[in-house]
């Protein structure tokens, strides 16, 4: 059995599909379906069972799964809203929950591959997996940073693989339920269909209009990196998961416009509430990932957005 927490979510459901393509269907999906629309992400997935996140953590603490062989746990479940400032909720949901799973996996020698985030870097532009470059700008980033720190404390005495993947700006199928936190490609596609106009923020932090740059990574590539570590259970650590190439929001907009062969681009004032807590530039440093022997080649914005537009508009 393989367990995928957050399995009805964006990356989690794509990971379940990736496992299905490998022939896995004995998959336990763990999630919170209070936002019931997420069920749609599971309709085309083959799974063995589903559990609510609260029931799952209770069963973990009771040793419920001791009679089953768990091949690995992919822990993708988290609150990923960078605009959420309830620190108590964020730390309980993202940090404490992950600690419980971590210790269960270590006690029973189960590989754990979990979602960290590029949000741990904040405004620093080095993007190397080192504490001196990590200074999150929001409590979401801090919750991810703190578990990475917790793992580092135990790294020399691990009994089984533990991998933290620092996702950069992921986009692709199955993110509709995320609302305002869905990718810019998703929102631009909707804007174009609604009005014929796509809108980006004006410049900030010294960048021109739409020229803020991010490391945009296609969700299919993120799935492949997760599965690469599943295939390499002797490798543990914290690794950036991005393309290693920074591209502008204008590049994303132009890829959407090119797909639709119509529409125009406009710029809107930069939101006041995002000033001081917004990453205007991200670019994954892949040295540590490459040092493991992983030579996976990530898609460019142009290629990934084209695939995504095909899926969204089919």
Phi-psi sector, 65: left (phi>0), alpha (psi -120 to 50), beta? alpha
Give the active site residue among 178, 207, 267, 278: 178
Burial class of residue 271 in the structure, from the number of CB atoms within 10 Å of its CB (0-12 exposed, 13-18 middle, 19+ buried): exposed
User: Around Cβ 182, how many Cβ atoms within 10 Å?
Assistant: 15
Task: Please check whether residue 276 is in contact with residue 270, taking contact to mean a CB–CB distance below 8 angstroms.
Answer: no
Nearest Cα neighbor of 147 from 238, 67, 68, 277 is: 238
Is 140 marked active-site?
yes
DSSP assignment letter at 281: B
Secondary structure of residue 20 in the 3-state scheme: helix
- The encoded tokens of residue 250 equal 């204008």
Task: Please check whether residue 207 is in contact with residue 280, taking contact to mean a CB–CB distance below 8 angstroms.
Answer: yes
Beta pairing class for 213-214 and 247-248? antiparallel
Is 24 marked active-site?
no
Residues 225, 228, 229, 235: is their CA dihedral positive or negative?
A: negative
DSSP assignment letter at 273: G
Give the active site residue among 140, 167, 218, 239: 140
What are the residue numbers of the active site?
Answer: 140, 178
């Amino acid at each position: 059995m393989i367990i995928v927490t957050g399995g009805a979510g964006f990356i989690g459901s794509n990971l379940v599909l990736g496992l299905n393509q490998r022939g896995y269907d004995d998959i336990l999906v763990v999630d919170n379906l209070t936002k019931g629309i997420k069920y749609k992400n599971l309709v085309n997935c083959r799974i063995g069972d589903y559990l609510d996140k609260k029931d799952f953590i209770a069963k973990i603490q009771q040793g419920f799964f001791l009679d089953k062989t768990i091949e690995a746990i992919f822990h993708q479940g988290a609150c990923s809203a960078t605009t959420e400032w309830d620190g108590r909720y964020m730390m309980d949901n993202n940090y404490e929950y992950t600690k419980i799973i971590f210790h269960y996996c270590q006690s029973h020698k189960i590989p754990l591959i979990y979602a960290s985030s590029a949000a741990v870097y904040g405004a620093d532009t080095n993007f190397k997996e080192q504490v001196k470059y990590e200074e999150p700008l929001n409590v979401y980033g801090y919750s991810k940073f703190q578990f990475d720190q917790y793992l580092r404390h135990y790294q020399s005495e691990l009994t089984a693989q533990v991998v933290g993947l620092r996702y950069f700006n992921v986009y692709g199928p199955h993110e509709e339920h995320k609302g305002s936190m869905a990718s810019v490609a998703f929102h631009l596609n909707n804007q174009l269909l609604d009005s014929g106009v796509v809108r980006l923020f004006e410049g900030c932090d010294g960048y021109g209009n739409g020229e803020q740059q991010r490391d945009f990574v296609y969700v299919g590539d993120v799935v492949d990196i997760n599965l690469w570590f599943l295939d390499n259970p002797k490798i543990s650590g914290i690794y950036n998961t991005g393309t290693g190439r920074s591209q502008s929001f204008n590049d994303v907009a132009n890829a959407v416009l090119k797909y639709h062969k119509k529409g125009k681009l406009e710029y809107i004032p930069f939101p006041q509430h995002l000033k001081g807590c917004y990453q205007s530039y991200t670019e994954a440093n892949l040295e540590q990932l490459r040092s493991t022997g992983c030579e996976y080649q990530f898609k460019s914005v142009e290629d990934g957005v084209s695939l995504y537009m095909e899926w969204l508009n089919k």
